[in-house]
Amino acid sequence: TVPLNYAAQAAGKLYFGSATDNPELTDVPYVTILNDTAMFGQLTPGNSMKWDAIEPEQNVFNFTGGDQIVALAEGTGKIMRGHNLVWYSQLPAWVTATAWTADELTSIIQTHVTTEVSHYVGKIYAWDVINEPLNDNGTFRSDIFYDTLGSSYISIALRAARAADPNAKLYINEYNLEYSGPKIDAMVQLVSDLKAEGVPIDGIGIESHYILGEVSASELKANMLNLTSLGVDVAFTELDVRIELPATDADLEQQKSDYTTIVSVCMEVADCVGVTVWDYTDKYSWIPASFPGYGEACPWDENLVKKPAYDGIVAGLQS
């Protein structure tokens, strides 16, 4: 069978990658597959670069987990997506428990972003600087950042990231951009506004957490082109396709077809730089814990055996 990163690069893309997480790195059979750079050319840490892991107390930084994943990537010739710098979730209590003034929170964001990006300078291909800033209805998400600073927190973080690593690609990462409606419209408007204001923004991450059978290639492609026409890259950053359990053979065939459809859209969009699965195996998928009754979302099963979805991805990469 054709390895995924090899096939992606043969098709002119930068990478095919996977999320991973530090506790998984003691699983030798898992790591053996992960380390194969013909298979995966890029890693995203699932948790260990998030704010609660990196700055658990104000001005106390712990890069241990992130460093471990960067070392793994460097040792196996992979590029890194840094995930993430500013997000409403997985914030340590010290950030959320205080009613900061706008000036105080600006400085907190700048310190966090500058310190983390500087620590990894030169080692991160792309940063998810802002994660999930929008509601599905297209308004900005109410969180400590927006409620204190309005949407200016986005430019504050992006400018700090650019200053700390001028060569890293700076992304906003979001879910449900796959579908037409107010959320993708709002993201297009946000990118357009940031560009008009001269704020550094290089890409939009389309998370791509799909439900079986709900892929529309035309919708997805149109949304991606609306973004890339503004002069940004796009990437599928957290791809998976969840199935209502128990999964039948027909479901696994539908999943194969869904993966082909999604991946082939990246092939059709010149500025889609690559595809990342949100871990490659059902053994470590986030789905069962977050969507009870759903699972089997990844291209390898929980015994690290390739599913039909694997061949679906290859077909998409070779389309």
**Minimum Å distance from CB 250 to ligand G3I?**
27
Q: Is 57 a catalytic residue?
A: no
From the list 238, 253, 268, 296, the catalytic residue is: 238
Strand ranges in 34-161 using DSSP code E only, listed in sequence order = 42-45, 79-86, 126-131
- According to DSSP, the residues that pair with 80 across neighbouring strands are 43
Q: Encoding tokens for residue 88?
A: 């409403």
51 belongs to the binding site for ligand G3I (CB under 6 A): no
Q: How far is the CB of 238 from ligand G3I (least distance, A)?
A: 5
- What's the closest the beta carbon of residue 26 comes to ligand G3I, in angstroms? 14
x-or-dash string of contact with ligand G3I, 223-252, rule CB under 6 A:
---------------x--------------
Cα–Cα distance, 40 to 73 (Å, whole number): 10
Q: Binding to ligand G3I (CB under 6 A): which residues in 267-306?
A: 286, 290
| Options 89, 107, 139, 248; binder of ligand G3I; rule CB under 6 A | 89
* Degrees, nearest 5: CA angle 169-172-176: 135
3-state helix, strand, coil in the chain (%, to 5): 45, 20, 35
Please select the residue that binds ligand G3I; options are 47, 260, 276, 281, rule is CB under 6 A.
47
Angle at 189 between CA 188 and CA 193, to 5 degrees: 120
Residues 6+ apart with CB under 8 A from 63: 54, 116, 119
Asked if 55 touches ligand G3I (CB under 6 A), the answer is no
Q: Which residues bind ligand G3I (CB under 6 A)?
A: 46-47, 89-90, 131, 207, 238, 286, 290
State the catalytic residues: 238
